[in-house]
Structure 1
Amino acid sequence: MSIKLPIDIHAVKGFLAATEGEALYHLAAEACALGACLEVGSYCGKSTIYLAAACKPVDGIVFAVDHHRGSEEHQPGEEYHDPELFDDRMQLMDSFHVFRRNIRTAQLEDWVVPVVAPSAIAARRWNTPLGLVFIDGGHSLEAAVTDYRCWARHIVPGGYLAIHDIFPDPADGGQAPYDIYKLALASGEFELVEMVDTLGVLRRIG
């Protein structure tokens, strides 16, 4: 089913395929009834817009967790470095100003709560039940496992865990998201619902 978004999503920087974004939209529309939605790794807001646009009609909330200093692959000299997101004064990556602009342009500010902090710090005192957790943060094994361990436990029964960039074949991409996907299945707490391109959607059992 095609969806209408409040912004030209193709103009928003990001690495989410349209099919994956639309799957997130429909997932968030369902998950809003169970609890808040939360994403780890917002970058410039592409996934946030899909999620928040789905939450808006039912007055749901998306917590967008990102330190906005870029993952390993976004740093100068790395494969996905974007000079437009580099703060020359601070000599650091800074995607937050572009993120805020995109959320404002999409008129979704009332349905997005930016949490500008590393994942582990944001989770330290977390106690809000979540209907959906979308993990698309750092792709090192340490970062991915941290995101999974910090946030999966807050998903309510029947809620969803979505993981981006799952590549079973190492020749196609990094393995950290695939590793936490396997961890979730091996835990016995999650079951696979569907795969949409590289997006794995799992449901919490019980």
Structure 2
Amino acid sequence: MAVSLPIDIDSVKGFLAADEGEALFEMALQASTLAPCLEIGSYCGKSTVYLGCACRQNNSVLYALDHHRGSEEHQLGEQYHDPELYDAGVKAMDSFPVFRDTLARAGLDDTVVPLVTSSSVASRHWATPLGMVFIDGGHSEAAAQTDYRCWAGHVVRGGILAIHDIFPDPADGGQAPYHIWQLARASGLFEHLPTVNTLGLFRRR
């Protein structure tokens, strides 16, 4: 059954399929009863709306972590570059103004806490247990490994680890998210849950 959202989700730029968004909502609805949730890679806020609306139902918080300068594939001249998100004044991609507009339109300003920095910097002194971690940041091997190494261990028992863009076949997409999915599955820390489209899901043991 489709999730009822406060805005037209198709009006938000992003690469999240509807079934993946609905799965994120359902997982966050459970996980946010345990502790706050965190997403890595907010972009313009599509996943943030699903996760934030679930957290709001439980009077919880979603930390939305993104430096908002874009992943490798978003840069000038790359495959997923969006000219509307390019700030010519600083000669860099900047999705933060659009992200904030999404939060305002969805009424999530009192639920979502934006963290505008890199994954490694944000994690340096992090001490808050997390009910859910959703990894959808940079898709280079280094970025994905950093996100997994820095954040997976903060998921509380019974909480959820979600990883986007899982492509077992290299012909279908980049392999870095699949590699950290494999790490999570082999770690012994997580119970493997059914994958939804390209969304890998685990529950912390």
Measured against the shorter chain, the TM-score band is: over 0.9
Tell me, in whole angstroms, the C-alpha distance in 1 between the residues paired with 2:133 and 2:57.
19
Partner amino acid, structure 2, of 1:45: G
Give the 5 Å matches for 1:50-199.
Answer: 50-199=50-199
What are the Cα deviations for residues 49-76 of structure 1, in whole angstroms up to 9, with x where unaligned?
0001111121110000000000000001
Residue number in structure 1 paired with 2:204: 204
SS in 2 for 1:47: helix
Partner amino acid, structure 2, of 1:173: G
TM-score of the superposed pair, with normalisation by structure 2: 0.99
> Deviation at 1:8?
0.5
SS in 2 for 1:137: coil
Q: Which runs of 5+ in 2 are unaligned?
A: none
Tell me, in whole angstroms, the C-alpha distance in 1 between the residues paired with 2:188 and 2:141.
21
Q: Which runs of 5+ in 1 are unaligned?
A: none
Tell me, in whole angstroms, the C-alpha distance in 1 between the residues paired with 2:155 and 2:144.
17
Tell me, in whole angstroms, the C-alpha distance in 2 between the residues paired with 1:6 and 1:130.
25
Tell me, in whole angstroms, the C-alpha distance in 2 between the residues paired with 1:13 and 1:37.
22
Residue number in structure 2 paired with 1:11: 11
May I ask how many residue pairs the two structures share in their alignment? 205
What are the Cα deviations for residues 85-132 of structure 1, in whole angstroms up to 9, with x where unaligned?
000000000000000001001111100000000000000010000000
SS in 1 for 2:137: coil
The reply on whether 1:44 has 2:44 as its aligned counterpart is: yes
Tell me, in whole angstroms, the C-alpha distance in 2 between the residues paired with 1:109 and 1:50.
14
> Deviation at 1:16?
0.2
Tell me, in whole angstroms, the C-alpha distance in 2 between the residues paired with 1:11 and 1:110.
21
Partner amino acid, structure 2, of 1:182: Q
Tell me, in whole angstroms, the C-alpha distance in 2 between the residues paired with 1:3 and 1:69.
30
Tell me, in whole angstroms, the C-alpha distance in 2 between the residues paired with 1:181 and 1:142.
14
TM-score of the superposed pair, with normalisation by structure 1: 0.99
- Percent identical residues: 64
Tell me, in whole angstroms, the C-alpha distance in 2 between the residues paired with 1:136 and 1:57.
23
RMSD: 0.5
What are the Cα deviations for residues 5-38 of structure 1, in whole angstroms up to 9, with x where unaligned?
0111001000000000000000000001111110
